[in-house]
Structure 1
Amino acid sequence: MNNNVKASINAVIVSAVFGAVQVANAAFIEDSKLTLGMRNFYYDNDNREGGADQREWAQSFKLDYSSGFTEGFIGFGVDMQSLVGIHLDGGKGYHPDSNTFTPSDSDGSATQEWSSFGATAKARISQTEFRVGNTLTPSLPILIATDSRLQPQTFGGAMFTSKEIDNLMITGGQLERAKGRASTNSTGLSVPGGTEESNHFRFAGADWKVTKDLMLQFYYANLEDFYTQHFFGLIHIQPLGERQSFKTDLRYFKSSSDGKNGEPGYRFNNNGGYAKNPGEVDNTTAIAMFTYTFQSHSLMVGHQRVSDDGSLVWLSQANVVNGSGRNEGEGGISFYSFTDAMIGNFARAGENTTFGQYTYDFADAGISGLKASISYLRGEDIKAVSGSGPDLHEVETDLRIDYVVPEGPLKGFGTTLRHGVYRGGGTSIDDQDQTRLIFNYTYSFF
């Protein structure tokens, strides 16, 4: 083969390789998204029984970059997140050292500024995506990363989502650490009240869309040395005519002790309630919700039944205290129930909770983007911590108003006003009135 032919072949190979790289990079870049989320949050918690009140105001900036996937049999990409928080005001004595809203300095006062950075690598094969990193935000029946305060909670570990089979989504993974919504540091995983850490939260589950109106769910989760949990769910939406439907949502949790659970450091506080075996997980919880929607009106009623032997459990962060004596902001994990309300959780042993919510969309009244809702929860038959004595009760009423600018220069700018009133009858939560005023805006660079 002469030199001219070799040169031609090499040129073709180089061009092909360079072209393939360009295509791969083009998909990686062209499908990328860069957004800046801004949240201004005022939080007022009035403890009606004389405890420490909390009044704080802060600003958060969240810069998210999400790349596309490179071309080929296996596509690769990356997600990155940068968070900055600024404490604007809190008033002397109105920042309790609980790290539920902003981090605390060594003297217990609110940190004026804090920031963090995280990244997650991702890969895609066919209809299956894998993610490994520390910016994971799962939203699953057995784990919900909360975004109910100034900054979002994020998890570190690995998880996958597969849609290879039509109408079936399979999810699984292992999480090892979490960064709280009021912290720059990550901690290991635990249960409410736990001080020891576990780095093995393994989970798997499936959502099967049986028909266009019916979905069945099953999930399994295990936090090593703390608990094992099974979840079964059913969601059915029955159309009743134009802009009219009836939704049925059934949920069932079965949770049991695992490994060292019950030993010092591995004890579950049972949400401040009774436990047949103190410190251990032993619970079944059944939830039924029914929602009737008619045009702009939506009415939901439901009931939750917690078994007598112990409280409903959910994943938390270990109650870690650092060298300065401050906790690491581990508070704040949501769980998959309507009773995860503004203030109370209504999930103690024996508790029967009846709840309802009415929502109205003002679009039909000519005010697009405005919605309002009012909800009411009443929990009864809560077993006393001692296991004897009169049953306890708790009540909460929540009001929520949301407005999102529908068009114009400020399109997407959102305002949320929430007000909750909680009254407990001998429970571990003091009577509280809570108000939150939140402004959200997200700017998309590309």
Structure 2
Amino acid sequence: MKSSSYGAGFARSAKPLALLLGLAPLGAHAAFFEDAKANLTLRNFYYNHDLRDSTKPAQSKLEEWAQGFILKGESGYTEGTIGVGVDFYAGLGLKLDSSPSRSGTALLPGAYDRAGGPRNADPRSVDQFSEATAALKFKYSKSELKVGGLFPKIPLVSSGDARLLPQFFEGAMLDVKEIDNLDLSVGQMRQVNQREFAGARDIQVGNYYSVFSDRFNYLGGTWRITPQWSAGLWGGRLEDVYQQNLATVTHTQKLGDWNLSGTLNYLDTGESGAEKAGKLDSRMTSGMLSANLGPQTFRVGYQYNAGDSALPFIHDTDLPAAANAVQVLRFDRAQERSWQARYDLDFASLGVPGLVAFARYVKGDNFKVAGEDGSEWERNIDITYTVQDGPLKNLALRLRNVQLQGDATGRRDENRVILAYTLPLF
């Protein structure tokens, strides 16, 4: 049986916590246990990606089916000036269907030793894999420090969850909310568990796949200027690879029955330290306008990378600062500009509560492929139905379809079918 596992982060974090709880008075543990909660998510994932007309002829398609179990929990805090608690995560992935000719979907480890690298001589996906981690957390007033396994959701690094098991990091994060309407955050990520690899490893760079770093430092915050306006400033450095600075502004406005919103981001990225990825110049402006009326939401987005480099980012993470980074393509090539149109509909108003869907189209151009003008487009259709009551309440079925075509990628078609059920444990 081909399998793999990882749990060192859990062991490192759990031992100090056990010692602390053993030394603290029993009464101090009351809130620690009373405020604790945990849930188990069962995620069944089928993935099919047709490559027959793509620029990667080595495989005609990627196709795998797997079952995931995701256990997440968090305690309350011990009593006292500084409260202490713990968050924990454990994941198990099981292969249901795969073959060496179809592996590489990123649902399961085994096909590659690193993203963007050559396929392994034995590209079979593992039959099963597991992982676990935990984070100690400390709370003082309105500030919180977490050390250990982290699932960051900040503008410069947002852990991805688009496959069987989620991506997580090892590091430390401090969130400070002592000043009204001002949220500050500072942290360092040292290693990462990627969605398609078991075990912690150095941080890999998307778009520059041969490059790794052993730390990502960031500092930033968001200021809620008024109930309608907010602004953020963030800075991050992936050691010896890149330095990023992000400015973002968000506005919301009610106009009659309409709810309007807009976000504008400017992300400036250059090389750092030893310049492992070489000289970098990515200056990306992106924005999104949204108009909601009852069950319908209309969105338009624009993105332009004015630099001479594709956007470097931490591999597998989401890109909240890039409006047109969608299901497969990111539209982040050097000099690329792109437009997006999206329509969302909640079918509850049509008598089908629990059914939601959206359609999205993004078109990009103004970049070069082998010295020639290039263009690309991607169309997404996403449908989710969640059972509203009865014994299967909260069971969710999600269908995700993609068609894309570009001068750099060729034509691709992709389908994902995800069945998920979350069971509260306590």
TM-score by length of 2: 0.88
- Distance (whole Å) between structure 1 residues aligned to residue 25 and residue 36 of structure 2: 17
2:109 equivalent in structure 1: 103
- Distance (whole Å) between structure 1 residues aligned to residue 52 and residue 227 of structure 2: 48
Of 78, 82, 86, 1:74 maps to 82
Of 119, 139, 144, 2:134 maps to 119
Code of the residue aligned with 1:438 in structure 2: it is: I
- 2:180 is equivalent to residue 176 of structure 1: no
- RMSD of aligned Cα (Å): 1.7
Q: Does the aligned pair in 2 maintain the 1:229–1:255 contact within 8 Å?
A: yes
C-alpha distance after superposition, 1:227-282 (max 9, x if no partner): 1100011111101134x211111111011111111xxxx22xxxxxxxxxxx4211
Code of the residue aligned with 1:27 in structure 2: it is: A
- Distance (whole Å) between structure 2 residues aligned to residue 280 and residue 373 of structure 1: 39
Q: Does the aligned pair in 1 maintain the 2:324–2:339 contact within 8 Å?
A: no
- Distance (whole Å) between structure 2 residues aligned to residue 217 and residue 143 of structure 1: 14
Give the Å deviation of 1:195: 3.4
Code of the residue aligned with 1:415 in structure 2: it is: L
Code of the residue aligned with 1:116 in structure 2: it is: E
SS in 2 for 1:186: coil
1:376 equivalent in structure 2: 361
SS in 1 for 2:25: helix
- Distance (whole Å) between structure 2 residues aligned to residue 111 and residue 154 of structure 1: 20
1:320 equivalent in structure 2: none
Q: Does the aligned pair in 1 maintain the 2:247–2:267 contact within 8 Å?
A: yes
Give the Å deviation of 1:408: 2.2
Q: For residues 121-160 of structure 1, what are the structure 2 equivalents within 5 Å? A: 121-134=136-149, 136-160=150-174
1:273 equivalent in structure 2: none
* 389-398 vs 87-96, which moves further: 87-96
- Distance (whole Å) between structure 1 residues aligned to residue 159 and residue 264 of structure 2: 21
Q: Does the aligned pair in 2 maintain the 1:245–1:294 contact within 8 Å?
A: yes
- Distance (whole Å) between structure 2 residues aligned to residue 308 and residue 287 of structure 1: 13
Give the Å deviation of 1:91: 4.1
Structure 2: state its 5+ residue gaps.
1-23, 112-119
- Distance (whole Å) between structure 2 residues aligned to residue 430 and residue 76 of structure 1: 52
* 113-122 vs 181-190, which moves further: 181-190
* 165-174 vs 87-96, which moves further: 87-96
2:290 equivalent in structure 1: 291
- Distance (whole Å) between structure 1 residues aligned to residue 184 and residue 215 of structure 2: 20
2:94 equivalent in structure 1: 86
SS in 1 for 2:27: helix
Code of the residue aligned with 2:415 in structure 1: it is: T
Q: Does the aligned pair in 1 maintain the 2:138–2:144 contact within 8 Å?
A: yes
- 2:404 is equivalent to residue 422 of structure 1: yes
1:412 equivalent in structure 2: 394
- 2:176 is equivalent to residue 162 of structure 1: yes
Q: Does the aligned pair in 1 maintain the 2:93–2:130 contact within 8 Å?
A: yes
Code of the residue aligned with 1:45 in structure 2: it is: H
* 302-311 vs 33-42, which moves further: 302-311
Q: For residues 253-292 of structure 1, what are the structure 2 equivalents within 5 Å? A: 253-261=267-275, 266-267=276-277, 279-292=278-291
2:21 equivalent in structure 1: none
- Distance (whole Å) between structure 2 residues aligned to residue 92 and residue 202 of structure 1: 38
- Distance (whole Å) between structure 2 residues aligned to residue 92 and residue 188 of structure 1: 27
Q: Does the aligned pair in 2 maintain the 1:48–1:433 contact within 8 Å?
A: no
- Distance (whole Å) between structure 1 residues aligned to residue 58 and residue 198 of structure 2: 27
- 2:38 is equivalent to residue 34 of structure 1: yes
- Distance (whole Å) between structure 1 residues aligned to residue 226 and residue 336 of structure 2: 34
Residues matched between the structures, number: 389
- Distance (whole Å) between structure 2 residues aligned to residue 333 and residue 212 of structure 1: 29
1:315 equivalent in structure 2: 314
Of 318, 327, 330, 1:334 maps to 318
SS in 1 for 2:348: helix
2:341 equivalent in structure 1: 356
Of 246, 249, 253, 1:238 maps to 253
- Percent identity over the alignment is 32
C-alpha distance after superposition, 1:270-311 (max 9, x if no partner): xxxxxxxxx421110001211111111111011101114112
Q: Structure 1 pair 190/85, CA: closer, same or farther in 2 (3 Å)?
A: closer
- Distance (whole Å) between structure 2 residues aligned to residue 69 and residue 201 of structure 1: 28
Give the Å deviation of 1:94: 1.1
Give the Å deviation of 1:156: 0.4
Q: Does the aligned pair in 1 maintain the 2:243–2:270 contact within 8 Å?
A: yes
TM-score by length of 1: 0.84
SS in 2 for 1:57: strand
SS in 1 for 2:30: helix
1:15 equivalent in structure 2: none
Q: Does the aligned pair in 1 maintain the 2:338–2:365 contact within 8 Å?
A: yes
Structure having the higher Rg:
1
Structure showing the higher strand proportion among its residues: 2
Code of the residue aligned with 2:412 in structure 1: it is: Q
Q: Does the aligned pair in 2 maintain the 1:394–1:423 contact within 8 Å?
A: yes
2:230 equivalent in structure 1: 215
Q: Does the aligned pair in 1 maintain the 2:84–2:137 contact within 8 Å?
A: yes
Of 24, 28, 43, 1:24 maps to 28
- Distance (whole Å) between structure 1 residues aligned to residue 58 and residue 254 of structure 2: 49
C-alpha distance after superposition, 1:368-387 (max 9, x if no partner): 111111000000111335xx
Q: Does the aligned pair in 1 maintain the 2:302–2:324 contact within 8 Å?
A: no
**Structure 1: which 4+ aligned runs deviate by more than 4 Å?**
none
- Distance (whole Å) between structure 2 residues aligned to residue 56 and residue 129 of structure 1: 40
